[in-house]
Amino acid sequence: MAGVYDFDGKARLTYVSGQSLREVVKQVVLNYELRWGESLTHKRSWLASNDYQFSADYYLLTPWDDIDGALATVLDGYPVTASILDSTGQVFIEEAL
């Protein structure tokens, strides 16, 4: 697989696939080498009350460290938002306000 891009620096190609949005977001987060919490405590990453069906597999090409852009693309159209705790690198998904 190859991609053409017009930004400076190293690129990251991510295959986005899965049956649920939660599964897909976890895969993207781990691909960018950030933290994803699976526990059922307050330390979990998926804080949204619902999960959503995801059925469109695709490749995502971003600058190497552009997790914000990757998550914005993946979450576009869903009623959730992503945030990253800079001190730990953990990603959180919450209901959009």
CA-to-CA separations, 8 to 28, 32, 50, 60, 72, in angstroms, rounded: 21, 18, 37, 17, 20
Q: What is the model's pLDDT at position 2?
A: 67
Q: Which domains does the chain have, with CATH numbers?
A: 11-95 (3.55.50)
DSSP state for residue 39 in the 8-state scheme: S
Question: What pTM was estimated for this model as a whole?
Answer: 0.91
d(CA 63, CA 66): 5
In one letter, which amino acid is 16? V
| 3-state DSSP assignment of residue 9 | coil
Tell me which H or E stretch contains 83.
strand 80-85
The whole-number mean pLDDT for each consecutive block of 10 residues of the chain, a chain of 97 residues, reads 81 96 98 94 93 95 96 98 97 96
